[in-house]
Chain A
Amino acid sequence: MATVQILIAGFGGQGVLFAGKCLAYKGLLEGKQVSWLPSYGPEMRGGTANCSVILSDTPVGSPIVSSPDVLTVMNLPSLEKYEHAAKKGAKIFIDSSMIEKQVSRTDVEAFYVPATKMAGELGLHTLANMILVGKMIRETGMVRFDDFEEGLKKVVSAKHADLLGANLTAVKAGYEYFTERK
């Protein structure tokens, strides 16, 4: 891995910033150079939220991801906004319980994960983001899965320590979710 540019997008409240933060912290613990840049301001309140995460072996230049290697979308406006920005050969992760539409490009790899539905079935409401994180790790190998908990501990505040287990269950469910490559 030289540099992986990741863009995670969805509605405000779906946890896209948190998902990105988990990946960034895990990357940091693995000794990578990392940056995490959120969208901020009015678009966070009901509109689309996104975050740029860069994991690299070399110092990160621009922290802005405009053409991602890895794109994760949790709502339709985000798919429509960023699908064509993704690099050729990019891996695109789609919460297929939120987005009925399929990726129209043929030069990317798409992974459809019904993350929101899965989260509901597992009693992990609001953790669709972490299911997608699990799937992203499985398909990209950009960070290691085995000691993911270490990164998570840095991101989950002491106040919410009781949610650590649920987050790990969600990541594991995503990691083990099988999709056929399309």
Chain B
Amino acid sequence: MAEKVLMKGNEAIAEAAILAGCRHYFGYPITPQTEIAAYLAKRMPKIGGCFLQAESEIAAINMVYGVASAGKRVMTSSSSPGISLKGEGLSYLAGSDLPALVVNVQRGGPGLGGIQPSQSDYFQATRGGGHGDYRMIVLAPASAQEMADLTIKGFDLADNYRVTCMLLADGTMGQMMEPVELPAPVEPSVGKPWAVTGTEGKRRHNIINSLSLVPEELEQLNFARFERYAEIERKEPMWESFMAEDADIVVVAFGIAARVSKNAVVAARESGIKAGLIRPITLWPFPKQPLAEAAQKAKHFISVELSMGQMIEDVQLAIRCSRPVTLCNRVGGMIPTPEQVLESIRSANRR
């Protein structure tokens, strides 16, 4: 077993990217994710990798497109306003079926907003962010350990399905230090025969492109892509269930909101209320099945979010509005306290 080291979540992402075989990082500084770039600026040159601070977020995401086209593992990271700038690039990556890992350490918005933690980019992450019919796999870590583990998982998923994978964290997760047991280095296992690596005169050249002017062909490309998305929805949902099996009140929360909610669920149980927590680890695909199962016993759901209520819509869809779902939230960089979540649980239990 590797030694546990105390690492910031942002640093855990950066080191895990290296362990996943990523040797190309392009980014542009923005709080609260800058430690990722700072860490890789130091490490990449020492291991023969490429760290490049681009002239803008838009340049960085297009550099990601280039490296992904060449079949190499590549990552960029930013925080909310910077991710908006990358929106066009995210759509182009999807349109070209390119695997890449994009990290969003969210801060409060909209606009430039603030620099404190937020989860208000949920819609942007799970519904697209750029134009067109596409999906990204969205992973939501809730500890420094998961920042590392899900970074590696994210690279694997991206390669397996030729999709962009987004690690959706927040300022707390990025800045917090926790013990991390770094995994062993992994070798990318999926071949990339589609990559543009030079034909050496032995095969037809590959083309990476998102432009397709023949509607019949473009339609087929969309259909094929959505078959892969359907497979992802079948195979890849991940979640953690905490005391949810017999729960009357089911709290649904991810990331830092789940950490806070766990305290509240424990406190509720101590006071005799049967509360539980379901923590989505993949936000897309959303773990519908455990929520639907919980709805057979539970009488009430609570969506705890650092937003004005975004994931709550997926909770309602997952349980087909069969139970009431209330929102417990703080926004603008504020974080709900365990007491606030507990009060929501109590209030739901009285209904």
B338 and A41 contact, CB distance less than 8 A:
no
**Chain B residues near A64 (CB-CB < 8 A):** 172, 260, 335, 337
Given the complex of chains A and B, what is the CA–CA distance between A154 and B263 in angstroms? 30
1/0 per residue, CB under 8 A from B, across A54-91: the answer is: 00000011111010000000000000000000000000
Given the complex of chains A and B, what is the CA–CA distance between A33 and B4 in angstroms? 11
Nearest to A35 among chain B residues (CB) is B178
Which of A21, A36, A37, A61 has the most CB atoms of chain B within a 10 A radius of its CB? A61
> Given that A41-B32, A66-B337 are contacting pairs, would A61 and B263 also be in contact in the complex, using a CB cutoff of 8 Å?
yes
A99 within 8 A of partner (CB): no
Which size bracket describes the interface of B in this complex? 20 to 34
**Chain B residues near A35 (CB-CB < 8 A):** 176-178
Given the complex of chains A and B, what is the CA–CA distance between A36 and B175 in angstroms? 9
Picked from A34, A38, A66, the residue with its CB within 8 Å of the CB of B6 is: A34
1/0 per residue, CB under 8 A from A, across B312-351: the answer is: 0000000000000000000000010110000000000000
A112 within 8 A of partner (CB): no
Give the interface SS of chain A, mostly helix, strand, loop or mixed.
mixed
**Chain B residues near A36 (CB-CB < 8 A):** 6, 176-178
**Chain A residues near B116 (CB-CB < 8 A):** 41
> Given that A36-B177, A154-B6 are contacting pairs, would A62 and B263 also be in contact in the complex, using a CB cutoff of 8 Å?
yes
A24 within 8 A of partner (CB): yes
Given the complex of chains A and B, what is the CA–CA distance between A24 and B4 in angstroms? 12
Which residues in window 3-61 of A have CB below 8 A to B?
Answer: 21, 24-25, 28, 33-38, 40-42, 60-61
Given the complex of chains A and B, what is the CA–CA distance between A33 and B335 in angstroms? 22
A residues with CB within 8 A of B: 21, 24-25, 28, 33-38, 40-42, 60-64, 66, 154
22 interchain pairs, CB-CB under 8 A: A28-B6, A33-B179, A34-B178, A37-B175, A37-B177, A38-B175, A40-B31, A40-B171, A41-B31, A41-B32, A41-B115, A41-B116, A42-B115, A61-B260, A61-B266, A62-B260, A62-B262, A62-B263, A63-B176, A63-B178, A63-B259, A64-B172
